[in-house]
């Protein structure tokens, strides 16, 4: 009778241990399931776009801007998931403080003082068509649930 009790107790402990192990395995995801790690590249007429902003625009919620690097690539680890419109802007307006402001920023916006940087070694700015700058006119979309890497090859 003592052996039966021990066997039942061992089976119960084994079942509890298996349930615990399964719970731990299921609960150990790769982080926030509402965010995406994305990367890609922006080209215009076969050449890399050398800077600017790519913005993910969801149907509801806030737009999510991502900086384009001088080699045309971009990368972000906390982008929203879902089907998005994509806008791309490369235009900026130099200011006397050395910062740049988007063209739609009010002219009287106060920027902090900063020395003007040497632009001689900066990559040449690539100007792209205006249709890519707004969610109403852009033809670009991205489903960040299914596609984690994307190249945008822009044309006129």
pLDDT in tens, the chain (156 residues): 566 555 566 565 455 455 454 444 444 444 567 899 999 999 999 999 999 999 999 999 899 999 999 999 999 999 999 999 999 999 654 444 444 555 555 555 555 555 555 556 666 788 999 999 999 999 999 999 999 999 999 998
Q: 8 φ, ψ to 5°?
A: -65, -40
Domain range for 130 is: 35-90+125-154
Distances (CA, A) of 146 to 38, 75, 82: 11, 16, 8
Per DSSP, which regions of the chain are E strands?
35-44, 47-48, 52-58, 64-68, 73-80, 83-89, 93-94, 100-101, 141-143, 149-154
Provide the mean pLDDT of the chain: 77
The total number of structural domains that make up the chain: 2
Query: Do 25 and 63 belong together in one domain?
Result: no
pTM (global) more than 0.75: no
The answer on 82 and 59 residing in a single domain is yes
């Amino acid at each position: 009778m003592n052996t039966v009790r021990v066997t039942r107790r061992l089976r119960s402990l084994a079942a509890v241990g298996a349930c615990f192990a399964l719970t731990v395995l299921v609960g150990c995801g790769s982080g926030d399931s509402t965010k995406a790690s994305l990367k890609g590249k922006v080209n215009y007429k076969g050449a890399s776009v050398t800077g600017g902003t790519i913005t993910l625009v969801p149907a509801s919620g806030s737009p999510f801007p991502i900086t384009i690097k001088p080699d045309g690539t971009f990368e972000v680890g906390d982008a929203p998931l879902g089907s998005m419109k994509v806008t791309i802007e490369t235009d900026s307006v130099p200011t006397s403080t050395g910062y740049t402001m988007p063209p739609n920023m009010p002219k009287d916006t106060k920027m902090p003082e900063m020395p003007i940087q040497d632009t001689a070694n900066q990559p040449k700015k690539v100007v792209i068509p205006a249709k890519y700058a707004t969610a109403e006119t852009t033809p670009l979309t991205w489903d960040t649930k299914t596609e984690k890497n994307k190249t945008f090859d822009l044309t006129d």
